[in-house]
Amino acid sequence: MSETSLSGFCAGLLEGGTLRMSMRIGIVVNPDAGLGGRLGFKGSDGRAAEARAAGAEDRAGPRMLQALENLKTLLNGSLNRSGVELTCIGWDGRMGSTWFPEKGTKIDFESIGSTPGETSVADTTSLVQSLVKAGAEAILYAGGDGTTRDIANTLESIGKEAQEIPLIGVPGGVKMHSGCFATTPKAAAEVTLAFLLGDLRCAITEVMDLDEEIYQEGVWKVRMYGEAWTPSSPRFMQGAKEQVERTSESDTIEGLAQHVESLLSTDEDLMVVWGSGGTLRRMGDFCGEELTLLGIDILGPVENGERKLYSDLNEQQLLEIIEQHVDENGEQRPRLLLLSPMGGQGFLIGRGNLQLSPDVLQMIGIDHILGVATPAKLIGLNAVRIDTGDVDLDQVFQNKRFIKILQGFRTTRLIRIEEA
């Protein structure tokens, strides 16, 4: 995220040096975002019906509700030192009012339309256009990178003034590499209040997404698709994803792989759950295993002289396989979850690996998690972030305080777990 001077909209919060007492923020919910996460989809675009038929539950909507409930509490608390009142404008239904908390003081919802029975990109475009016409001074949205691109593209098509409307993303999708996402729904509420109070500068950040064409060829690459304004808060905004893997790190990754191989050779009963991402996939290559680039795989224990690889598993498949990994007394057999933090953001859980649901993580056990990162990725990464989607489980990780990160053959370091 690059700092710049205040945008017109951020500067417009102040009139004659005095904070305005009433603000209007647009609400956008992509009801289909995040549906495929626990099912192992790499995104939900065009697959919403399939995900719902498979039993997927709403993700973006409930996370928007969580953000707005927190914002309502903040607006009615002591942190709202100026007594700012907020009007949220949007559509009735699943793209808006369905996820609005009970109306109270300091916050209200103004309907400017209705959500159609089935939604598409065209509806997101139409909603954003309506929000601009209705005088939205910022847009609080829930979705993923695809939603971010749709909103940013619409604002750009309207004109320069609309393009300067700040975006605050509630993380609710499968892919969230863009820099305008808050780290959690609660953080989105805190950023929004600080924005309303005029405490945050606005900056231009990158709109990022997976390059789908290259991914179809088996290459994982996130690229920049545009820019957007967003309140600048390193504490609460996750920042854009960085790609720090380099060809010269091949020896390091081979060393990481050799460490895992030594664990496997020492304990034939060990089950390894492989997280997603380029680092782990390249480690798998050195181990002779073809891992899923953006999926979760399991390498089972030795049976009949070999290990079986279970590829691209969804939440239910993970639960079934891990649940069966017990001895004759029902006691857990050895297991290990390998996770690589997202470069630039530091997320270990909650970005790109939604299949690792709270139930899956608890079945594995948080003491059986090993982070994996190359030295280049660890540069500037002083802490990792955890966003399991379960507040209580997040707190368990917080209480743990540190997590072990493998950075070379038999070389580990402790990294602090930071509140997301």
Most confident of 232-241, 246-255, 410-419: 410-419
Residue 5: predicted pLDDT: 39
Q: Are 369 and 337 in contact, with CB atoms under 8 Å apart?
A: yes
Residue that wins the pLDDT comparison between 340 and 244: 340
Number of domains in the chain: 2
Residue 303: predicted pLDDT: 95
Q: In this model, does residue 237 exceed pLDDT 60?
A: yes
Domain contains 240: no
Q: If pLDDT is split at 50, 70 and 90, which confidence band does 216 have?
A: low
Domain contains 62: yes
pLDDT more than 90, % of the chain: 57
Same domain (yes/no): 160, 60: yes
Q: Which two tokens stand for residue 188?
A: 């989105």
Residue that wins the pLDDT comparison between 237 and 392: 392
Same domain (yes/no): 156, 65: yes
What stretch of H or E contains 202? strand 202-210
Q: Is 36 left (phi over 0), alpha (psi -120 to 50) or beta?
A: alpha
Same domain (yes/no): 282, 394: yes
pLDDT, tens digit, 9 for 90 and up, residues 65-100: 999 999 999 999 999 998 999 999 999 999 999 999
Domain contains 236: no
Q: In this model, does residue 16 exceed pLDDT 70?
A: no
Residue owning tokens 């907020």: 86
Q: If pLDDT is split at 50, 70 and 90, which confidence band does 158 have?
A: very high
CATH of residue 210: 3.40.50.2300
Same domain (yes/no): 133, 266: no
Residue 19: predicted pLDDT: 57
Same domain (yes/no): 274, 179: no
Across the chain, what does the average pLDDT equal? 86
Q: In this model, does residue 323 exceed pLDDT 60?
A: yes
Residue 267: predicted pLDDT: 96
Same domain (yes/no): 373, 338: yes
> Considering only 16-20, 194-198, 254-258, which range has the smallest mean pLDDT?
16-20
Domain contains 34: yes
Secondary structure letter of residue 332 according to DSSP:
B
Segments forming the whole domain that contains residue 101: 2-231
Same domain (yes/no): 189, 163: yes
Same domain (yes/no): 18, 158: yes
Residues 324, 200: Cα–Cα separation, whole Å: 50
Domain contains 239: no
Residues 413, 192: Cα–Cα separation, whole Å: 35
Mark which of 178, 204, 231 sits at the end of a domain. Answer: 231
Q: In this model, does residue 350 exceed pLDDT 80?
A: yes
Domain contains 40: yes
Same domain (yes/no): 59, 83: yes
Same domain (yes/no): 220, 272: no
Residue that wins the pLDDT comparison between 269 and 383: 269
Residue 57: predicted pLDDT: 78
Q: If pLDDT is split at 50, 70 and 90, which confidence band does 195 have?
A: very high
Q: If pLDDT is split at 50, 70 and 90, which confidence band does 1 have?
A: very low
For the residues 163-168, what does the mean pLDDT come to?
Answer: 94
Domain contains 242: no
Interhelix angle 60-75/185-196, nearest 10 degrees:
40
Same domain (yes/no): 265, 217: no
Same domain (yes/no): 217, 93: yes
Q: In this model, does residue 226 exceed pLDDT 70?
A: yes
Residue 7: predicted pLDDT: 47
Residues 72, 85: Cα–Cα separation, whole Å: 10
Q: If pLDDT is split at 50, 70 and 90, which confidence band does 236 have?
A: low
pLDDT more than 70, % of the chain: 83
Whole-Å CA distances, 371 to 80, 191, 344, 367: 39, 29, 15, 11
Domain contains 238: no
